[in-house]
Chain A
Amino acid sequence: MNGSTVSRRQFLLGSAALGVGTFGLSSLPAFAASAGGTLRIGLNITPNKLNPMLTRLNSEYMIAEMLYSGLTTLGHDMTAQPDLATEWTSNEDATEWRFTLRENVVFSNGEKLTSADVVASFNKLLDPETSAPGRRNLGPISGVTADGDHAVVITTESPFGDLPVGLTYPTAKVLPAALIEADFAGFDQTPVGSGPFRLASFKPDQVAVLERNPDYFIAGEPYLDGVEVRTFPDASSAAAALLAGEIDLLNEIQPTDYQRVADAPGIDGLLTPSGRFLDIVMDNSRAPFNDKRVREALSLSLDREAIVELVAEGFGKPGNDSPVNSAYRYYDDAPLKSFDPDKARALLAEAGYPDGLKLELVASVKPGYRSSLAVVIREMARASGFDISVKTMDHPTYLDQVWKKGQFYVGFYNMQPTEGTIFNLLFTSGASWNETKWNNESFDALISEADRTTDTARRTELYAEAQRLMREDVPAIVPCFFDLLGAKAEYVEGYVQHPRGANYALHTVSLSDSAPTRK
């Protein structure tokens, strides 16, 4: 709508994409060598759980990533990068993997980290009793055994080429075996890990103070002396704090605040295209959504470009009813679905609703754009005969009563490291959160074959077919992807936003000489 805004956005998109290409995790900017200082980060979601195996929120992932290490970590290009494991190999059909561990790793309690700790950690993580989020996201792991002190062997039930990437899941951290055995609940209060930082103090809802781990296994890192993670009650107050110079880095800004913050002097806006999306979840097993024509009618009722403008303030991309977009490796490009109210109305009539269809769309109030999307969809779909009323509710009630149970609601998901993860999380019959109950056998077969295939060309075909199936059958409506929006003070160096939104790599961040000195 506004020419200058659009061109500025495209410029930002371009530079962000360039950033992803040039800085991998291993290639650090040379200027980042100056050490010291404390980085102050603002969060708007309180980290609640300190136990790294039980974390669920981005804010908790951030703290866990500073305090603990996993076998692998996720690169900006969504490939597995070394963390505790320096290298890995698999057998021919990708069912048995050997990970070689670093030998210089010590936990913050002084004990050395060995393969026994890795085995104990994975056994704990995979134990259903632990209720660890991500237990089913790692891959079809059937066993973890030690191979000497500094290597582990992981076997899978079926071939799984994505295992090293699967292991980057934020809850897959390595804890000392002795403490898992003796006092697992203690990790809620006292972290013992091998990450780049150590916890100095933690006041929930206020601040977590972390200081440099002098024994970190990568020599010279982290560059910072410490990190203060401050919690703000909402995104706008965190943005206000950045503008007031009270914090240095913000990894989450509302689309409505972004332009204002990014334009402020001394502040760099951070914008990264991502696979984070909002979707309209429909229960495919019950009327009216068990009729494909109804789902298709709703899909045709939406002006997706306008949704990006109204819901994401233009900081995003329209979606094509598949959770995979260009931020993923195996994205299947297709023309944007058309906006055709007349055809939608005809389809609705054909499906037995010539006088329109009355529905209630539920949206949690967190984050705010869930209800914005609901309101926009209500208004857009009015033209094709849908009479949608919006019901908003607080997040816990939503999780308790609607999520995975409701028949028509707004979902919101972060980008996942692989296509397999997102499909197996949400859309296959055996998905952890099979909220659409689509249960499409040919889709299941495609995904399961892709999981087992290591050949890239074949996987490209399989995933393209899966995405085509979703576009055609519309198990859910994915109208809009969001760019990750953040901002930092100009003197913060070496911070690159991760498109997955759950990795931060703060050990590679530094403050330039122009940073204000503080006590």
Chain B
Amino acid sequence: MIFASTLLPIDVTFGVIVYWLLLGLAGLLLQNTRAITQYIFPAGALGALILAAAALGSLGGAVNVAVLPLGLPDLPFHLRLDALSAFFLLLLGAASIGISLYSAGYFRDMPGNTLGLLCFEYHVFLASMALVLMADDAYMFMVAWETMALSSYFLVTTDHKVPEIRQAGFIYLLVAHVGAIAILMCFGVMQGGHGDYTFATMRSAHLTEFWSSVTFLLALFGFGAKAGILPLHIWLPEAHPAAPSPVSALMSGIMLKTAIYGILRVSLDLLDAHIWWWGVLALTLGLITALFGVIFAAVQTDMKRLLAYSSIENIGIILVGIGLALTFHAFEKDALAALALTATLYHALNHAFMKGLLFIGTGSVLHATGERNLGKLGGLIHHMPKLALLMLVGALAIAGLPPLNGFVSEWLLLQAFLLSPGLPHSYLNMLIPVAAAALVLASALSGYVMVKFYGVIFLGQPREKTLHEAHDIGIFERLGLTWLALGCILLGVFPVFVILLIDPVTQMLLGQTLGSTAAQTGWLLLTPIQPERASYSPLILFLIIVVGVIFTIFLVKKFYHGRLRRGPAWDCGFPEQTARMQDTAEGFGQPIRQIFEPFLGVTRIVPSPFDKKPHYHGESRDRLWNLLYLPIARVTEKISVMVGKLQHGRIHVYLLYSFVTLLALLAFIR
């Protein structure tokens, strides 16, 4: 008992990190597929459960601080577990339980040596993400951040024999490092010349308005590169499809959230100045990102790319929430800021579950059919009914439909928008309704995307013969998927409890909470302001629909004779239906492509009527690639050619360079 009373939550969470590292090492040493899938991954899931429980326990508790005797001399690692860290650790733990369980089933056919390496990288990845969330000095943070980037890079390039995957990995690594440099510079500015890189010092430092803004912009850029905010999103649709599905789930569901954590940590915790245009900038960027992501998601034909673009959209929505919270905070409307921040964190949690579920679900489809191309799937609901049901939950949730979880966070965010007028800035007051409209448009489009995603994969007739041999998911996969699907349902149906969980975070960052107002009429009814202004009860909504369905079925059963025949599909009397007459993913996305054609770089090869072997090819490319990245690449190349001229091969010229540098430095330091 003495032991239990001295065991702080931070000890438990750090213990889990060490435990994960040990598990990874064990996997690396064992190199045995059966042992790794049957024991190590489930054991990892157990660690995740403990982490989630410890984080849950410490939410609302006292702040834990620890100093590790590791690291460089006189530069120990500082760890800290406060409400913000605890919330994101909870997110990490809760979502990775499902993903690790799923991995236990998913990797069962992988050869032992590859799997041993993957198991190591996987657990290092998990541990480094947890460390990022717990770091309390810039040094620790950067070490963990880089470990996270590297381990995920190796995970992305698991199939390193495929050239596209190597290229995807390279782009990912490049963007990750450009971002990391910005983060490093951001910490450099924030320490304000004290030479002390602990977060505690940064909190107490007072920067001028200019330097605060510089810090914020650097943080937004650096973390934005990791989160996939426009225009730094390009690595996301490349890296996610390349990685094995559970890894995509970890990256999209959790790793992107560490970037969100970073933005929140810097802008609301470490910086003490708050300037209104930060929020507006984040809001605008978020809206553009959300709309961009969802439009591109609608025209994708690869199921994992589609989900990757959908992640970009969701990050955009989260950023909109952050922007709103920052704006309100800058104008000292902290109650509203708390509402917006709650919606943001809620959405982050939701997205971890929804996107985790969908990504590992695509893993099962890939495993069963060997296809990632939507145009070659179809009708899987007949062969994989369990997977189809669980994926339906994920698809409906991410489409933002009641009574599931995606809807609740969007509902809260919209409430924050509706309450916002009264800011002391006339243009801003008008920007906000327009922003609300854009947000609503993005979330309505995500419904389109999800109907396409789900309908093309699971419904209709199988588009290829081989699909008839698809097998349903095994027990571990089912456990993992069920855990995440249950999360989607419970987070959706019991919003008041979730908001009470988020309260300590908003209390810490803004000094305001939403929980007491939200629960003022009991846990059944969610009332963010006053009951007569807005209220929502997903549980009642859910029950009424269920009761309505049962009642209707009962009535029909009672009064109807119940005769039923099976026959061929009618289709307006057209007799020769084949699976190829269904819409493919391209066809389903065609209206969106037509409407938003100016924004998409569309290339199309249309066959003429006389082609013997007609071939259609359509591709929607990211215009930013040509407009932004290629010029940068060209300029970089030019500069490197110029720099290359410095290289003569004559040793005394090199010595001259060193000498000049030395002189310059001496002159500068003088």
Answer whether A and B are interacting partners.
no
